[in-house]
């Protein structure tokens, strides 16, 4: 059983399109995150939800909109895709809002390529 699963694994799309990435965790964790990793492997936190409530909303374009239908799911919708959105997007989860003593569990990533 995959602990944090995200789909799709690869996404190639044209500029201007709208796309979604889905994430699900079966760990019973309360907190979920979206990260963006650039080509130099730098990880940037984008959003975090705790029990369906948005608690982190970093400086990202408002074309990015997260949605958490329940605490096991966190989806990311991106409108009007741009070339600069090309990156690997990771979903993660943790037992508590600050990560606590157990750290974070990451999904395997979605590689988004905008052409």
Partner 1 sequence: GNSVTQMEGPVTLSEEAFLTINCTYTATGYPSLFWYVQYPGEGLQLLLKATKADDKGSNKGFEATYRKETTSFHLEKGSVQVSDSAVYFCALSKRGSYIPTFGRGTSLIVHP
| Residue of 60, 67, 86, 104 interacting with partner 1 (CB under 8 A) | 104
Whose Cβ is closer to partner 1: residue 92's or residue 114's?
A: 92
60 is an interface residue for partner 1 by CB under 8 A:
no
Residue-by-residue DSSP string for 80-100: S--GGG-EEEEEEEESSTT-T
* Number of other CB atoms surrounding residue 62 within 10 Å: 7
What is the token pair recorded at 37? 């990793």
For the bound state, the minimum distance from the C-beta of residue 42 to partner 1, rounded and expressed in Å, comes to 5
1 is an interface residue for partner 1 by CB under 8 A:
no
Distance CA 35, CA 66 (A): 12
Judge contact between 64 and 7, C-beta under 8 A.
Answer: no
- Interface region with partner 1, contact rule CB under 8 A, candidates 12-20, 68-76, 77-85, 93-101: 93-101
| Residue of 43, 61, 63, 82 interacting with partner 1 (CB under 8 A) | 43
Question: Cα 51–54–6 angle (5° rounding)?
Answer: 70
Distance CA 93, CA 5 (A): 11
For the bound state, the minimum distance from the C-beta of residue 16 to partner 1, rounded and expressed in Å, comes to 28
Contact positions vs partner 1 (CB under 8 A): 4, 33, 40-43, 45, 48, 55-56, 90, 92, 94, 97-109
């Amino acid at each position: 059983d995959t602990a944090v699963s995200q789909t799709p694994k690869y996404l190639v799309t044209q500029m201007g399109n709208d796309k979604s990435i889905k994430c699900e965790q079966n760990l019973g964790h309360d907190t979920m995150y979206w990260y963006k990793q650039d080509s130099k492997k730098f990880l940037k936190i984008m959003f975090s939800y705790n029990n369906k409530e948005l608690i982190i909303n970093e400086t990202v374009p408002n074309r990015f909109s997260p949605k958490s239908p329940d605490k096991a799911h966190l989806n990311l919708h991106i409108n009007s895709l741009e070339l600069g959105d090309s990156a690997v997007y990771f979903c993660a989860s943790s037992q508590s809002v600050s990560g606590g003593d157990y750290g974070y569990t990451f999904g395997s990533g979605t590689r988004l390529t905008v052409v």
